[in-house]
Chains A and B, each alone.
Chain A
Amino acid sequence: NAGVTQTPKFQVLKTGQSMTLQCAQDMNHEYMSWYRQDPGMGLRLIHYSVGAGITDQGEVPNGYNVSRSTTEDFPLRLLSAAPSQTSVYFCASSQRLAGGLEQYFGPGTRLTVT
């Protein structure tokens, strides 16, 4: 199992550009989510999905879109990049079990917007 994979690892964008961060998981998990991590602020939830065809907003959704057409894939789209979106982005997948929601994180995408 590859677990959760993310591409690209690094990306530099100019203000106003758009791009898609890719996320895939091979664990057949129902739940997938996107977080951003800024220094000293922990992880903040952007969008999440509880299954194919179902998405919802998290804490900081503005400027981002998601879709979930398959169980495996959960891409994050930046519509018009802004310097405030410079951050590290993590994708996670999880399965709700009796032991709670154990999330498996991808390696992250380090995004810089100039």
Chain B
Amino acid sequence: GQSLEQPSEVTAVEGAIVQINCTYQTSGFYGLSWYQQHDGGAPTFLSYNALDGLEETGRFSSFLSRSDSYGYLLLQELQMKDSASYFCAAEEDMRFGAGTRLTVKP
């Protein structure tokens, strides 16, 4: 099995950059996914990393270091609509972290 650790809350201002970290412990590992969930909504897929390095998708980027069992989601040019919970997930057994609640302030 696996466990994934994320900070519970992060606060940032509009236009800023924020990084949400995820560390994992695993007996096997395929890759790390990131999902966004707005209050009352369903999770939506943001990105996936199977290999070390940075994957960029518009304002969102995700990074993975397999040797450090660590990844992060980077959100740039924050907008109010980015206020949501963000989850990292390990592909091997589809286990999710507890989520990081991001609050973007004006």
User: Which A residues have a C-beta under 8 Å from some C-beta of B?
Assistant: 33, 35, 40-45, 48, 58-59, 90, 99-108
Decide: A48 and B48 in contact? CB cutoff 8 A.
no
Task: Please give, as numbers and ranges, the residues of chain B lying within 8 Å of A48 by CB-CB distance.
Answer: 94
Asked if B94 and A100 sit within 8 Å, CB to CB, the answer is no
23 contacts between A and B (CB under 8 A): A35-B96, A40-B98, A40-B99, A42-B98, A43-B89, A48-B94, A58-B94, A59-B93, A90-B43, A99-B48, A100-B91, A101-B31, A101-B33, A101-B91, A101-B94, A102-B33, A102-B48, A103-B35, A103-B43, A103-B94, A105-B43, A105-B44, A108-B42
Inter-chain CA distance A48–B99, complex, in Å, is 21
| A33, B94: Cβ atoms closer than 8 Å | yes
Is chain B's interface secondary structure helix, strand, loop, or mixed overall? loop
Other contacts beyond A42-B97, A101-B33: 9, CB < 8 A: A43-B89, A45-B94, A100-B50, A101-B31, A102-B33, A102-B45, A105-B42, A107-B41, A108-B42
B21-73: which residues lie under 8 A (CB-CB) from chain A?
30-31, 33, 35, 41-45, 48-50
Residue of B nearest to A3 (CB): B42
Q: How large is the interface on B (under 10, 10 to 19, 20 to 34, 35 or more residues)?
A: 20 to 34
Chain A residues with CB below 8 A from B93, complex form: 45, 58-59
Interface, chain B (partner A; CB < 8 A): 1, 8, 30-31, 33, 35, 41-45, 48-50, 87, 89, 91, 93-99
| Min CB gap A41→B, angstroms | 6
The 5 closest A-B pairs by CB, nearest first: A100-B48, A105-B42, A42-B96, A42-B98, A43-B96
How far, in whole Å, are A33 and B93 apart by their CA atoms in the complex? Answer: 11
Closest residue of A by beta carbon distance from B55 = A99
- Residues of B close to A105: CB separation below 8 A: 42-44
Most chain-A CB neighbours within 10 Å: which of B30, B49, B50, B96? B96
Which residue in chain B gives the minimum CB-CB distance to A6?
Answer: B42
Tell me whether A100 and B43 are in contact (CB under 8 A).
no
